[in-house]
Amino acid sequence: FGMVGAALSGVTFVSVPGMVGNNNFYFFQFILGNVVGYLFITYVLIPLYYKLNLVSIYGYLNERFGVKTYKTGSFYFLLSQSFGAALRLLLAAKILQFAFFDKLNIPFYATVIIIIIMIWLYTNKSGIKTIVWTDALQTFFLILAAVVTIVMITSSLNLSFGESINEVVNHKFFKVFDWEHKSGSNFFKQFISGFLIAVAMMGLDQNMMQKSLTIKNMKDAQKNTLTFSLILAVTQFLFLGLGVLLYIYAEHNNISLSIGENGKLLDTDTLFPNLAINHLGLIAGISFLLGIIAASFSSIDSALTALTTSFTYDFLDISSKSSKEKLKLKNYVMFGFSVIIFIIIMAFSGSRGDVISTIFYVAGYTYGPLLGLFLFGMFTKMQVKDNLIPVVAVLAPILTYLLNIYFKNAFDFDFGFLNIAVNALLTVLGLLIVKKKN
């Protein structure tokens, strides 16, 4: 249950309902790919991690390839987690700025600093068990807020439960499959990238997998992951349905929405916050803000803990230090990552697209090399030149970016989230080039 909270965060809560306005229900194609990805995690990755009894899941890369590959994998985890945490917190900070801090004339950068300090102080006093419980609490608040919002909208529009489902299913946004091959939301692009991103963002993510690895035995960990995947799929479908209801409510009450020159809606991430806080009444507003605050603290504190654990174990050899030195070192490292997260937030603060798409797009570049390394390690027996792995891992994302630009300009073909597949494939090709000649 807590794993659902960590996976959902405020991004799913706000960004998924809003994105329906520009992308219909096409995101569900991605979710279907996620479910297949979780099956791969359950029956391939979890048995591997338990067999090797790993503290850091990137220890597998050390055993399979060598220390340089291990450090490369850990570096990409740190990079991925820093961007993911920052973008999740960016959305929450924007909402809290809109709800409270604008009224107090507090600038956005100060809002971000205040939130990070509060999360840092909270995280500094907690460990993995506390994080598991706070993730569970976050899940409860997020789902409660969604249910309260649905009840408030349906009662406002005088719709029964059955009538509201009928309204959603018959709405122009209820288009689930996209077969246009050039489109970024094409079914195959969404499904394949959904599979690969689930494997990478959960199965190869220290933050997510440490929750499974704290479970006493493998069978329970597998059962937990399967349950998690089904709850997550249903919950995300619920948030897509909520998105349609939010747009129906806005249409019914003549609430104006900003539209860009290309006919697409602007700032779809503001739809839910605006309606919940300004239009749906006090109960919906309070439920929404409780959900966002719970999501902000829980998802970022677990990310900070995972970042600190990975960096101190993988790069600073913390296990050889005294208890006093460990505590001091962890505090310094956690502060350092807090600063990095702040810098990323400010760099993306002017972005007007939906945050969830930005997260998966960035993940394609940061998780692609990790995915390529793990797949090559698991499905081949070839050895590679360990000292050349960092070069391959840096070149693959750069080439992916250049290829994406070329295909867009030359063929009007958008990779969409499929950039993770291209990135992983280029990593595998690079590994074949630097393999040892036996």
Per residue in 85-130, pLDDT tens?
898 889 888 888 888 888 889 999 999 999 888 887 766 555 444 4
135-144, 181-190, 417-426: the lowest-pLDDT one? 135-144
Per-residue pLDDT band at 340 (split at 50, 70, 90): very high
- What pTM was estimated for this model as a whole? 0.83
Compute the distance between CA of residue 420 and CA of residue 310 in angstroms, rounded to an integer: 23
Per-residue pLDDT band at 236 (split at 50, 70, 90): confident
Q: Write the secondary structure of the chain as one string of H (helix), E (strand) and C (coil).
A: CHHHHHHHHHHHHHHHHHHHHHHCCCHHHHHHHHHHHHHHHHHHHHHHHHHHCCCCCCHHHHHHCCHHHHHHHHHHHHHHHHHHHHHHHHHHHHHHHHHHHCCCCCCHHHHHHHHHHHHHHHHHCCCHHHHHHHHHHHHHHHHHHHHHHHHHHHHHCCCCHHHHHHHHHCCCCCCCCCCCCCCCCCHHHHHHHHHHHHHHHHHCCHHHHHHHHCCCCHHHHHHHHHHHHHHHHHHHHHHHHHHHHHHHHHHHCCCCCCECCCCCECCHHHHHHHHHHHCCCHHHHHHHHHHHHHHHHHHHHHHHHHHHHHHHHHCCCHHHCCHHHHHHHHHHHHHHHHHHHHHHHHHHCCCCCCHHHHHHHHHHHHCHHHHHHHHHHHHCCCCECHHHHHHHHHHHHHHHHHHHHHHHHHHCCCCHHHHHHHHHHHHHHHHHHCECCC
Per-residue pLDDT band at 138 (split at 50, 70, 90): low
Query: Which pLDDT belongs to residue 129?
Result: 45
pLDDT in tens, 242-265: 999 999 999 999 888 878 777 787
CATH architecture, domain defined by 2-354? Up-down Bundle (1.20)
- Mean pLDDT is highest, among 80-94, 122-136, 183-197, 380-394, for 380-394
Q: Does 392 have pLDDT greater than 50?
A: yes
32-36, 60-64, 117-121, 219-223: the lowest-pLDDT one? 117-121
* Mean model confidence pLDDT for the chain: 85
Radius of gyration from C-alpha coordinates of the chain: 22
